Amino acid sequence: MIKAATSRDALLGGRVTIIQPENGYRAAIDPLLLAASVPAKSGETVLDLGSGTGAAALALAARVDGVNVVGLEAQGALVALARKSAEESGLSDRVTFVEGDLLSMPADFPATFDHVIANPPYLAAGGGNPPPDVAKRAATVEGEAVLSDWLKVAQAMAGDGASISVIHRFDRKQEVADGLAEGAGNIVVFPLWVKEAGKDAKRVIVQAWKGKGGELRAAPRTAPRTAKGLVLHQANGDFTPEAEAVLRDAQSIRL
């Protein structure tokens, strides 16, 4: 068997080392932005659904000292790379990666978490032109688990008072918000603008909160609050200082 070539890349200004395939599935800035949006504190637990090569889980652990993250990923090859990345980043004591299907959670998996994050495939099943690379296709195109499944599992794994944060395509923001509204409240839509606030957003972070004791913090069908968002690039294509602070200096995003 010929092993696929991998690269070692630095994230968050060198705070994290990630090992990933040289070709095919590679982490972009989306998992770093997602991780920065999680209001986690030391001692709390976080579930990363569909953790891929571990970028979001490791970035979150590097940003918040004392937080414990579990990544669930269906592709065993990516789980193996994520575990190596955790070791090289000095985070294997607080970040664990488990191979498993979100539609059939491992029997010994923790019941609930203080926070749940997810970066589901952006393309609906049967739509678009799926990438030829198997790993990349699984990460970008819905398979047996569609978006509604991801959102239901995220809510089921969120404990009382937990946050649920999802990054997705901007044009599917209402779909994400509606899905989360079935079991969580206080929904915030946070656009990630390309170069100018109010124009050309490709990604969005949607965050919701699960109530305590079964009570929702807000009525499920309350209209989501739209935040100012974050402008990612300057006119010349460079990251804005605000984006640079998140992507390089490990600053948080306040929704």
> What are the pLDDT digits (tens) for 71-99?
999 999 999 999 999 999 999 999 999 99
Contact partners, residue 112, CB within 8 Å, separation at least 6: 157, 158, 159, 160, 162
At 131 the pLDDT is 54
Question: Is position 1 within any domain?
Answer: no
Kind of pairing, strands 185-196 and 199-209?
Answer: antiparallel
Question: Is position 252 within any domain?
Answer: no
Q: CA 117, CA 38: separation in Å to the nearest integer?
A: 8
Contact partners, residue 30, CB within 8 Å, separation at least 6: 119, 167, 203
Question: Is position 212 within any domain?
Answer: yes
pLDDT, tens digit (0-9, with 9 covering 90-100), for 100-144: 999 999 888 999 999 999 999 986 666 666 555 555 555 566 567
Task: Kindly report the number of other CB atoms within 10 A of residue 233's CB atom.
Answer: 15
- SS3 at position 9: strand
Most confident of 31-40, 125-134, 207-216: 31-40
Say which amino acid occupies 18: I
Nearest to 184 by CA among 252, 116, 106: 116
Range of the domain at 106: 6-247
pTM: 0.90
Q: CA 70, CA 58: separation in Å to the nearest integer?
A: 10
Say which amino acid occupies 139: A
Question: Is position 23 within any domain?
Answer: yes
Question: Is position 231 within any domain?
Answer: yes
For residue 50, the domain's CATH number is 3.40.50.150
> What is the tally of structural domains in the chain?
1
